[in-house]
Amino acid sequence: MFFALVLLSLGQLGTALPGGIPVVPIKGVQGPVDFPLLGIGTWQYNNTVAKTSRVVWQPLPLRVHDPQFRAGFQQNMAVVVAELPVKQRRSVVFAEEPSSPPPSSILSEQARLQRMMQRHEMSVSATRQQNLETIVPFARDCQKRLDSLHGWESHGIHLKQQEATEAMKVVEQFVLATSNSQFPVTVLDGVLHEDMCRAFIDVHEKVGFARPPSLLEHLVETSMEDFEDGEEEDLLVKLAYEQAKNTSELVQIESSDFADYLWEKLEHYLPERHQNDRGFATGVYEKCGVIPVFRFMRYQKGQGFKAHRDPSRSYVENPVKSSASTHGEPGIYKSFFTIALYLNDPAVFEGGKLNFVKVQVDQSGSKEYESQASVCPAVGRCALFAHDELHEGGGVQSGTKYMCQCDVLYKWVDTVISAFSLGYRHVDTAAIYQNQKGVGAALAEMKMERDEFFVTSKIPGGLNASATAAAADACLEELGLKFVDLMLIHFPADFGKNGSAKERQTEWTALENWAKSGKARAIGVSHYCRRQLDDVLKVATVPVAVNQVQYHVGMGTAPTTSTDDRDYMRAKGVLYQSFSPLCGPCNPPDNTELLNGTLITGIGARYNKTGPQVALRWLVQQGIPVIPKSHVAAHQKENADIFDFNLQAQDMAILTAAKRPAVGGGPSPQDSGDCGILEEEEKVMVV
């Protein structure tokens, strides 16, 4: 029997679900059920925040004559443009489910995601307002001149007559040694037909190439008289550097037809999902399409684009008009990949290669750029690469080079999709979380077979028979499922802590009847201590499969009032499951003890693992399933990377003997609070 095992080695863990997560058996309604040792918790998660909780930010006028604005301008630009590395592993205030309903003062996951959306909108709004003074009028003028020439189609560019993609071929693919991306630089020939390339060059020469304006240039032109000492010189230096960096001339055009044309040809070569660990909008993004903004560039003798990384383009609504079902849908949209298209052949120009470079710094601190790989231009050739790759457009030594550049759009996706993309197959939710519709929508969007994932839900405690069935049915309706794999009674009383043995027995019997109709494969409880479990066992005809309680490093030798009597649960054949495995509800400083505490990180260093990975491994190695919660993809991946090592016996013993952090969220560090429900009333109650 499973519960006779104290420690499970890697070889003793079974794997049943397609995600590769090991499983342990639980007692189901009709027999054993495989229960994943790892799931994604969704307490305080609401995946609809980006769609329905948007805050509309009104753009402010660009106050170029306001000294206070100018003083903070460089800092504001840095906030808007920079892709800063994440410096803090996770916000621990609300990292896990607490052992009691959350106090209103704690920032919820919904509020957290809303804050991320607000910051994204602020960034987009600021950039949009800056562009209104510079590139927007320039692009609008380009479009007007093209329209006056009767557009592309009148010049033989027929985008809706899609060419066969069989003519395309991959020339080469390579991953740069310095790359932060797993996406290889991909070079394809035959993306554009030679006649189309020639027509693009001809029509845009008629439109007229010109140097695009810059924000710095705009500030210099409009604010010269207001500069204080040193400001003018500093801005002019920056402007000179910017102008020398990219000396190309531009025609900028919008076209949904061209975006569709390229997407049909290139979608296959781009990753379905991209994990972004930079800036504040971290997480997993799914590809949407080609942004319908095209920068046609002309490089003549002496012109080039010095070493740089392409900026990420950000939107608060989907700009890809070809996606009729999602165009205009609000969300967090960013670009991560560049499409570089070459329109003419090196036979008519010299130089102009796309060079991927790395930085070399000499003893004096001077930077030099050394080439790692190069892509030679060719008619109709395309280079796909991540924005983060440091590259340059080599200077043209003679003749004229023509090219076009655009970007691939991705949309931030919710916690469940992010986790499942990393191999998770178990999601834990509950009626009280008010997120089951979002969880169900995410599961439906992934279009998996029903036996490929595991869903746990919970109904409130303290319900009568009819309310129990109604609450459980409501969970199925919200999730859009015919059955759940595991349904738990969330608390041994109502959330006001009003309950009794008789009420627990009534609710359990009603849940059994509901489950026997095929609506749950297994049923169990949460927050139940020994005496509350006994109440249920007296009337149970279906096994109590699971008791989900708070348990983590620091509670290994804690009294039964803290652990809800772990050993007794095992003796009764009830699987003991941990929520808050990293002690999210613990009070500071204990709430960071399992993230970066000395004990946990010291042990982790011996295994090349992080503190959280050690804390989670200590649990699953005992056969205790865990449901850590995070909407950050990097943390989800870290939490899942715990099945490739075993903690040695001495380290398991050290972790078991640890006294910190104690149980969090209860009335005291020695008491979870679960057993104290109406104790005096129940002493005199006859069942």
Note if 433 is an active site residue: yes
Would you say residue 200 has pLDDT above 90? yes
Q: Which residues of 132-149 are buried (b: 16+ CB within 10 A; e: fewer)?
A: ebbbeebbeebbebbeee
Tokens at residue 585, please? 């509800």
Would you say residue 676 has pLDDT above 50? yes
Residue 432 three-state SS: helix
Residue 356's pLDDT band (cuts 50, 70, 90): very high
pLDDT for residue 566: 92
Angle at CA 274, nearest 5°, toward 273 and 277? 145
Mean pLDDT of 179-193: 91
pLDDT for residue 599: 96
Residue 529's pLDDT band (cuts 50, 70, 90): very high
Distance between CA 12 and CA 21 in Å, rounded?
Answer: 13
pLDDT for residue 328: 73
Query: Positive or negative CA dihedral for 614, 615, 620, 625?
Result: negative
The position carrying tokens 């010291």 is 602
Which domains occur in the chain, in start order?
2-46+415-682 (3.20.20.100), 162-209+246-412 (2.60.120.620)
Task: List pLDDT tens digits, range 32-83.
Answer: 999 999 999 987 544 332 222 222 222 223 222 333 333 332 333 223 222 2
pLDDT for residue 87: 27
Q: Which of 138-147, 375-384, 393-402, 490-499 has the lowest mean pLDDT?
A: 490-499
Instruction: Indicate which residue of 45, 433, 568, 576 is catalytic.
Output: 433
pLDDT for residue 100: 34
pLDDT for residue 144: 96
Q: Which of 246-250, 447-451, 523-527 has the lowest mean pLDDT?
A: 246-250
The distance from CA 120 to its chain's CA centroid, rounded to whole angstroms, is 14
Residue 433's pLDDT band (cuts 50, 70, 90): confident
Q: Which of 205-214, 502-511, 614-623 has the lowest mean pLDDT?
A: 205-214
Residue 214's pLDDT band (cuts 50, 70, 90): low
Task: List pLDDT tens digits, range 244-286.
Answer: 567 889 999 999 999 999 999 999 999 888 878 777 777 778 8
Task: List pLDDT tens digits, range 382-406.
Answer: 999 999 999 999 999 999 999 999 9
Would you say residue 636 has pLDDT above 50? yes
Tally of CA atoms within 13 A in the half-sphere of 107 that contains its CB:
11
Tally of CA atoms within 13 A in the half-sphere of 76 that contains its CB:
17
Write out the DSSP string of 99-137.
Answer: SSPPPTTSPPHHHHHHHHHHHHHHHHHHHHHHHHTTHHH
Contacts of 686 (CB under 8 A, 6+ apart): none
305-308: strand order across its sheet: 305-308, 391-393, 354-361, 367-375
* Amino acid code (one letter) for 368: E
Q: How many CB atoms lie within 10 A of CB 241?
A: 11
Distance between CA 377 and CA 382 in Å, rounded?
Answer: 9
Task: Write down the mean pLDDT value for the chain.
Answer: 81
